[in-house]
Structure formats: structure tokens, C-alpha cells
Amino acid sequence: MAIREILHDEIFLRKTSREVSIFDKRLHTLLDDMRETMDSVNGVGLAAPQVGVLRRVVIINDTGEPEDLIELINPVIMEASDEKQDDVEGCLSYPGEYGMVERPMRVKVQAQNRNGDLITIDGEGLKARAFCHETDHLNGVLFVDLASRMIDPEEFEERKENRK
């Protein structure tokens, strides 16, 4: 495994990623490297274009526990709740920047696992937010496009304090 460089290049990040059709060792190496890269910066999610690979691959871990890692290949959001959550969101490609983004409270995602098997996963709260955020990356959509407003670091720290 290897830590890959996380890109901050907005022109690249706005490209649309292509579907994965071959589930081989190359894909597994990408997934393993993405995991190591995300863990190295304590991220909640990472999409392949963020490490320079325009393929529909994302990983998510909303707890930080190794067994809670979710790998999604070719993910599609099938259902989203009418109920919304309006909360702070950030992105590993925008270190130190945060904004308020409205997302569905619950979503259902269909995807493939690293072996190509079809899987369906439900997410609520932060997990639902991460599914939406990372899937957006595959379509070149960034959270700064969706944020109702950006918040300054002071307000971000205050919000974190209030959550504890």
C-alpha cells in the first residue's frame, strides 16, 4: 500500500469519472492506497479523482474503525429521504475550508464491491452525507458549489465543541 497525493486542482476535480468494468488487482491496489491515504489524514471519505484517477470509486468510513470501511464501485444513489440535514461539510481537497451544506438525512446507495458483486447500503446522518459528497465527486461536483455559505474556522471550532 502507498499514500497517494490528494489533489487540490479544481479543474481536474471538475471532470467526470468513468465507470469501472474490470475488477482486477489494479483496482484493489487503488482501493488499498485510497484507504491508507484517507486514514493518514483522518478523513471520512475519499473519491478516486481526488488522487488523480478518474474512475467511479469511493471509500467511506464514518466512524474511523477499520471494520466500518465501505468501498463503493460505480455507486448510484437510488433513494433519498425528503427529510434533510443542514450541517458543516468539508473536503480533503479543501483543507481548512468548511461550509453549510444541505443533504438528505437518509439515502440508499447501490454499488459494486471490489469483486464486482452488486451491493445495496443504507446510510443515515454523516454516512448519508458522505455517500452524497463522494458520489458528487465522480460527477465533478464539489461541496463549495452546494454550500449555502462558507463558515470561518472559529465558527467551525465552536460547532465542534457544541457537538461533544
Residue 94, all three cell numbers? 479543501
How are strands ordered across the β-sheet holding 84-89? 84-89, 98-104, 149-151
Q: How far is the CB of 116 from Zn ion (least distance, A)?
A: 25
- Give the C-alpha distances (Å, rounded to integers) separating 156 from 29, 46, 90, 91, 159: 35, 21, 10, 14, 5
Distance CA 79, CA 139 (A): 18
Residue nearer to Zn ion on the CB measure, 138 or 164:
138
Residues 66-125 interacting with Zn ion (rule: CB under 5 A): 91
Residue nearer to Zn ion on the CB measure, 91 or 107:
91
Residue nearer to Zn ion on the CB measure, 59 or 91:
91
∠ Cα 74 39 87 (to 5°): 70
Q: How far is the CB of 102 from Zn ion (least distance, A)?
A: 16
Annotated active-site residue 161? The verdict is no
Determine contact, residues 67/44, Cβ cutoff 8 Å. no
Work out the end-to-end distance of the chain between its first and last CA atoms, rounded to an integer number of angstroms: 34
Q: How far is the CB of 123 from Zn ion (least distance, A)?
A: 16
- The residue whose Cβ lies closest to Zn ion is 91
Q: One of 79, 134, 155, 161 is an active-site residue; which one? A: 134
Q: How far is the CB of 105 from Zn ion (least distance, A)?
A: 20
Residue nearer to Zn ion on the CB measure, 27 or 89:
89
Residue positions annotated with a catalytic role = 134
Residues that bind Zn ion (CB under 5 A): 91
